[in-house]
Structure formats: C-alpha cells, structure tokens
C-alpha cells in the first residue's frame, strides 16, 4: 500500500465512525436519562427504540430549511459548518490504539485544546447571524463562559502531560500502562474532578447551560436553525462531548490499557469514553442550572487557583521523582 493512501482513507473512516457513534450516543443518553427518571425512553421505533436516531436523522433531513428574513444569510449559513469542523477535527489526534489514528502529532494535546476552543467562532457566528435577541445573548454568554473555563481545562489537562513528560497523546497513553493517572495519589483524583467540571462547562452542559437556558433563551444560539443546519449543530455539540470524553479517558483512565489481548484495546478505550460520557449525563440529570455569577466565581475563584496549585504540586512531584530515581 503506497504511503499516501493512509492520510486519505483514515480521516474518511474516522469521520464516518464518529458520526455513527455520535448518532447512537444520543439514543444512549435518552435511554439513560429516561431510566434516571423512572421512564423508558424511546421504545417504538425498532426493537427497544434502536432505530430512533435514524428516524430522527430522516426527520431532520426532510424538514423545511427556514432562514429568517433579516438574518445575515452568509454568516447564518456558514455558521453550522464552522461549528462542526473543529468538533470533528478534535478526533484527528486521538490515537485509538498504538499506531491507530489519523495523525499522532507530537503536540497532540495542544492541537486538541486549541481546536476544541475554536468552536466558539462558529457558535458566535450562529448567534450573530440569526439576528435574534435570544441567539445573540446566548452567543455572548457562551463566549464569556468558554473563555473563563479554558484555563482550568488546559491546566487540568496539563497535569497528566507533566506526569507523562510528553505532549504526544500516544506517549501519555503509554505512560499509563503501569498505573492510570486517575489513581495517582491525590493529584490524579483532584485533576480528574477539575477536568470533568471544566469539560462540562466547555461543552455547555447542565449545570453550566446558561447559554441555552430554556426558560430564558428558548434554545439559545440555535433558536433560528431548523432542518439539516440544526442537525449539523447538534452533531457538532455531541461530537465535542464525545471527543472530550475520549480525551478524558486517554488522559486519566489509561486509554487502551485493559485486560485481554491487544486487539481489545480500542474496545476498552471506547468503553472508558462512554463511561465518561455517562458520568457527564448523570451530572446533567442531577443538578439544576447555576447562575452566571456563580459559574464565573467557580471558574476564577475555585478552579483556577486549584488547578494552578495542582500544577505546582505536580511539578514538585515530577522533580522529586527524577531526583529519587523512581
């Protein structure tokens, strides 16, 4: 096989797998949420509602595509794509098994963090282009929140980077073959909690969902979108959540480490990512939305000092480990 084929085939495969995964993850979330409320969830389409995501997709494709008269048409039409691309790009650097990934960059985690913050551009374009007060308010809140939570997110992700001594995601995963970083005494658990909280905020999930607070802003920045554009935005949002779950599983839960033969690696990785996704869903259905000032206070007054102190502690541990020769 010539060497130029893999860079063409690999993104294609990853993209399709991710889209399929994201489609079915919505069903998983709906079933899980329903059980938490003693309901059943989707049940009628296919056995136990297994065909529900496909029915949803078909429904969204057949919907009328409405563009508001006063909307900025070009920005409005471009926004879902600008939103979707970074959310899909974050899968580029994730190695699903040793040597199995699109591009194992040596600054992989930096690429991930940079690209995942770029979705805010598409989000703000959607809010601005809609020419709708709810959408605009929501987009401004989103920018505010994502900027506030990027720092704790990056700092908590840097703890495993320092422990592993590399920015390359496959190196970080390989460094956990002995012990997963979540089991690292004190530092690991605290960093994991900070990571989960700041990913929740970066994904705009409950309890940090002020940007689509239903009672105030209807549906937030996507209020004017319908049909396939709405589907693209939803796809991007869930892809971002799944991508962050994969990153969390890779940074803290040992990526593809697990019992069984080597080909079980990607399955373990997927299971760990889905576990993280379910934790996020669990949190979503347990809490109410918190206020804007509380969200910002949590970021700047609690998470930022905590993660900074964690970074200092981690660097002390790393230096001590080197000098002790462990």
Partner 1 sequence: MRSTNGTEVGALLWAVLTALRVTFVNLFRKPVTVHYPDVTRKYPDRYRGLLALVYEKDTGEEACIGCRLCEYVCPPAVIKVEMLKSEKRNYAKTFTLELYACEFCELCVQVCPTDAIVMTRSFDMPTTDRRDMLLDKDRLHAVGLQHQPSWATGNLLRDMQGPPKLARAEAHAKKEEEVKTGGPA
The pattern of x and - marking residues 255 through 294 that bind partner 1 according to CB under 8 A reads ---------------------------xx-xxx------x
Number of residues that bind partner 1 (CB under 8 A): 18
The pattern of x and - marking residues 169 through 208 that bind partner 1 according to CB under 8 A reads ----------------------------------------
Q: Is 78 in the site for partner 1 (CB under 8 A)?
A: no
Residue from 13, 17, 39, 73 in contact with partner 1 (CB under 8 A): 39
Residue from 73, 74, 133, 301 in contact with partner 1 (CB under 8 A): 301
Q: Which residues between 5 and 34 bind partner 1 (CB under 8 A)?
A: 32, 34
Contact 79, 121 (CB under 8 A): no
Q: Which is nearer to partner 1, 38 or 323 (CB)?
A: 38
Stretch that binds partner 1, among 70-78, 118-126, 182-190, 297-305 (CB under 8 A): 297-305
Q: Which is nearer to partner 1, 35 or 133 (CB)?
A: 35
Residue from 81, 100, 140, 297 in contact with partner 1 (CB under 8 A): 297
In the complex, the smallest distance separating the C-beta of residue 126 from partner 1, rounded to whole angstroms, is 31
Nearest to 168 by CA among 89, 99, 262, 238: 99
In the complex, the smallest distance separating the C-beta of residue 249 from partner 1, rounded to whole angstroms, is 20
Q: Is 59 in the site for partner 1 (CB under 8 A)?
A: no
Stretch that binds partner 1, among 6-14, 18-26, 53-61, 295-303 (CB under 8 A): 295-303
Q: How far is CA 110 from CA 58, 87, 212, 285, in A?
A: 37, 15, 28, 31
Q: How many CA atoms lie within 13 A of 160 on its CB side?
A: 36
Q: Which is nearer to partner 1, 48 or 85 (CB)?
A: 48
Element (H, E) at 193: helix 187-202
In the complex, the smallest distance separating the C-beta of residue 34 from partner 1, rounded to whole angstroms, is 7
- Apex CA 15: angle with CA 12 and CA 17, to 5°? 105
- Apex CA 183: angle with CA 297 and CA 287, to 5°? 35
Contact 135, 126 (CB under 8 A): yes
Q: Dig out the tokens for 109 from the structure.
A: 């985690």
Residue from 2, 4, 38, 323 in contact with partner 1 (CB under 8 A): 38
Q: Dig out the tokens for 98 from the structure.
A: 């040793």
In the complex, the smallest distance separating the C-beta of residue 150 from partner 1, rounded to whole angstroms, is 20
Q: Alpha-carbon torsion 98, 103, 106, 108, what sign?
A: negative
Q: Which residues between 302 and 321 bind partner 1 (CB under 8 A)?
A: 302
**Running DSSP on this structure, what letter comes out for residue 97?**
B
In the complex, the smallest distance separating the C-beta of residue 39 from partner 1, rounded to whole angstroms, is 6
- Rg (alpha carbons) of the chain, rounded to whole number: 20
Q: Is 36 in the site for partner 1 (CB under 8 A)?
A: yes
In sequence order, the 6+-apart residues with CB closer than 8 A to the CB of 311 are: 155, 158, 159, 162
Nearest 5°: phi and psi at 206? -55, 140
Q: Is 40 in the site for partner 1 (CB under 8 A)?
A: yes
Contact 122, 139 (CB under 8 A): no
Q: Which is nearer to partner 1, 290 or 318 (CB)?
A: 290
Q: How many residues does the chain have?
A: 326
In the complex, the smallest distance separating the C-beta of residue 286 from partner 1, rounded to whole angstroms, is 4
Helices and strands, number each (H, E), in the chain: 13, 0
Nearest 5°: phi and psi at 97? -160, 165
Q: What residues line the site for partner 1 (CB under 8 A)?
A: 32, 34-40, 43, 282-283, 285-287, 294, 297, 301-302
């Amino acid at each position: 096989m010539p060497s130029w084929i893999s860079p063409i085939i690999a993104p294609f495969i990853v993209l399709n797998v991710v889209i399929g995964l994201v489609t079915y993850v919505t069903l998983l979330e709906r079933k899980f949420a329903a059980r938490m409320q003693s309901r059943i969830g989707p049940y009628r389409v296919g056995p136990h509602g297994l065909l529900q995501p496909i029915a949803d997709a078909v429904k969204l494709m057949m919907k009328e595509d409405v563009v508001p008269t006063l909307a900025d048409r070009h920005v409005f039409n471009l926004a879902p794509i600008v939103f979707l691309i970074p959310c899909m790009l974050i899968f580029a650097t994730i190695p699903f098994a040793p040597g199995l990934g699109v591009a194992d960059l040596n600054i992989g985690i930096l690429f991930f963090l940079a690209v995942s913050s770029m979705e805010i551009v598409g989000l703000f374009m959607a809010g601005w282009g809609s020419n709708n007060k709810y959408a605009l308010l929501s987009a401004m809140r989103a920018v505010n929140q994502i900027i506030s939570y990027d720092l704790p997110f990056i700092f908590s992700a840097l703890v495993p980077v320092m422990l592993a001594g590399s920015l390359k995601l496959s190196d970080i995963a390989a460094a956990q073959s002995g012990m997963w970083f979540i089991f690292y005494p004190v530092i690991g658990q605290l960093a994991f909690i900070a990571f989960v909280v700041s990913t929740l905020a970066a994904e705009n999930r409950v309890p940090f969902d002020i940007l689509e607070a239903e009672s105030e802003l209807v549906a937030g920045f996507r209020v004017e979108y319908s049909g396939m554009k709405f589907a693209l935005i939803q796809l991007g949002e869930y892809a971002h959540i799944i991508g962050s779950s994969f990153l969390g599983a890779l940074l803290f839960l040992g990526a593809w480490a697990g019992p069984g033969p080597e080909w079980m690696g990607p399955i373990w990785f997927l299971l760990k990512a889905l576990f993280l996704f379910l934790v996020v869903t669990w949190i979503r259905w347990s809490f109410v939305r918190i206020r804007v000032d509380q969200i910002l206070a949590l970021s700047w007054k609690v998470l930022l000092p905590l993660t900074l102190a964690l970074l200092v502690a981690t660097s002390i541990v790393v230096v001590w480990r080197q000098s002790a020769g462990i």
